[in-house]
Structure 1
C-alpha cells in the first residue's frame, strides 16, 4: 500500500495545480473581457438614450441608440447624418447635420436651403414645417444641425453651429424598443 500513497499524493497535487491554472485562466479571460468592454465603450461604441421630441420624425423619446464614436476620428460628418454632441454642461443632444463648414444655410417658405439650393429631406414628413430663418454661414470646424421635428427642436437656429470638437459620434442604430429597431443611415 505504500507504493500507492506517493502516486495518489502526486495526483492530488496535480489536480490542485490544474484547478489553480483553470481558475487563473478564467480570471484572465474575465479581466480581458472587462478591459475590452471598457475600451469599446470609451473609444468605439456607446449607448445613448434619446430624450425629448426634437427628432420625433426619426426616433422617439426613450429610444436607445448606438453611437459610433470612431467614425469622426477617420472622417468629417456628412449632411444628413444624425449626430450626438455635447450641447450644454452635462447634457448631450441628438440632431441631424444639415450644413458643413463654409456653407450657407437658411430656410424660406418652409424649405431648407444650403448655398441657395433647396435641400431634399426624405427623412422628414412632407407636413413638417421649417420656420423661416435668415442666411447664416457655418464657420470652419463647425456643423449646422436641426432636429427632424422642426417645430419643437432646440438646435443650431437657437444655439448656433456645433463645434466638431463637441461631437461624440454618429447615431447608427436604434436598438430599443425593438419595434423601432433599425439603422439611421
Structure 2
C-alpha cells in the first residue's frame, strides 16, 4: 500500500510540473503576441530609398506604441503598409504635417509657400515633384512623406503611395539591430 501512494505522488508531481511548463509556455506566447501587436515589430529595409540614413539590409525595431500617446512629428522616420502589396511595408520620413500645404518645386519642398530650409535629409534636389508639383493641402489627419534618397524613392509624390492618414502609420523606426557595427537608436531630427 505504501508503494501505491508513493507512485501516485510521483504521478501528481510529474503532472503538476508538466502543467507548470504548459502555463509558462502559454504566458510566453501571450506576451510575445502582445509585444508584436502593440509595442514593437522587427522589419528589414529593402532598397535604397532612405540612403544614407538607412541602408538596404538594415534590420530595425519599429516602435508601435509612442504614436498612441503623441502626434507624429516632422522628420520622424515612419513605417506604413504599402496598399497594393500584402506584407510589404515602406519606410519614409514625415515632411508635411496635418493642415499644411506642401509643394515640391525647383527640386525643393515648400511648406505653406516657404522653403523648408531645415530639411537636411534629402541627398539631392528632386528631379520630379510628382503629384506635389501642384500645392497639396493636407487634411486634419494627413501626412506627406519622402524618402531621403529623393530621386530614387516611391513616396507621397507618387500616386501609388500618396498622402498617408494617421491610421496608416504602423509606427516609428526606433532601433537598428543589424548590422551590428551600426546598431543603435535611429536619429530622427
TM range, smaller chain: 0.7 to 0.9
| 1:130 corresponds to 2:132 | no
Separation in structure 2 between the aligned mates of residue 36 and residue 168 of structure 1, nearest angstrom: 19
| 1:38 corresponds to 2:33 | yes
Question: What TM-score, normalized by structure 1, do the two folds share?
Answer: 0.85
- Residue in 2 that maps onto 1:95: 92
Structure 2 residue runs without a partner (length 5+): none
Aligned length: 178
Specify which of 166, 178, 181 is matched with residue 180 of structure 2.
178
Separation in structure 1 between the aligned mates of residue 111 and residue 27 of structure 2, nearest angstrom: 48
| 1:21 corresponds to 2:11 | no
- Residue in 2 that maps onto 1:118: 116
Structure 1 residue runs without a partner (length 5+): none
CA-based RMSD of the aligned residues comes to 2.0
2:61–2:173: 8 Å Cα contact kept in structure 1? yes
Separation in structure 2 between the aligned mates of residue 32 and residue 87 of structure 1, nearest angstrom: 33
Tell me how far 1:111 sits from its aligned partner: 3.6
Structure showing the higher strand proportion among its residues? 1
Aligned ranges 1:46-65 → 2 under 5 Å: 46-65=41-60
- The structure number with the bigger radius of gyration is 1
Q: 1:161 to 1:119 in 2, by over 3 A?
A: farther
- Residue in 2 that maps onto 1:142: 142
Question: What TM-score, normalized by structure 2, do the two folds share?
Answer: 0.83
